Amino acid sequence: MVDAQRARKMADRIHEIVARRLERGIKDPRLGFVTITDVKVTGDLQHASVFYTVYGTDEERADTGAALKSATGMLLTPSLEFILDALPENAASIDRLLQEARQRDQDSQTVAATAEYAGDADPYVKPRDEDDYDDDLDDDDDDTDEVVPVVDEADVESGAVDDGTVEPDGSTR
């Protein structure tokens, strides 16, 4: 393994040579508008991967890939591989996702601006006055409260509660 700094310098040099050679030296009509985006070199400096993008349609990308593959023999490197870089497609996808997120944020802010509370605006319980509590027990305005017993039907049927019914012998239940 060589020093990482030396490998990076070698990758930069290969980037320059390949870009210059594509610009001036290769006269293949299939070669489209190519941009070299990056070069990676193995640790032993025996293999270089050249990443490129092509401005154009999928057909132009395929033609350019074929032209670059046939041009690898003309470029003086031990082993050279051209790899189509998906950077533009990834960038477009990220831009689309960011735009969608911005739109959703804007929509949620619009909804939040016109939203109302589901319950009280102030949901916290406040202490009440004694008079307020007495008035809440009945619907009339006087301060006397009627206590109404709650009777279960099962208690009435079992005879545990007097429902006011008079039996034939004159007794009440």
Give the per-residue pLDDT at 57.
Answer: 81
Question: Does 41 fall in a domain?
Answer: yes
Task: Decide: 44 and 2 in contact? Cβ < 8 Å.
Answer: yes
For the entire predicted model, the pTM comes to 0.46
> Which residues constitute the domain of residue 28?
4-87
For residue 105, is pLDDT > 80?
yes
Q: pLDDT digits over 126-143, tens only?
A: 777 666 555 555 555 555
Q: What's the whole-number mean pLDDT along residues 92-99? A: 89
Residue 136 lies in a domain: no
Q: Which residue has the higher pLDDT, 151 or 72?
A: 72
Token pair 């305005």 is at which residue? 141
Residue 152 counted as domain residue: no
How many domains are contained in the chain? 1
pLDDT tens-digit readout, 157-173: 666 556 566 566 766 65
Q: Which CATH number does the domain housing residue 52 bear?
A: 3.30.300.20
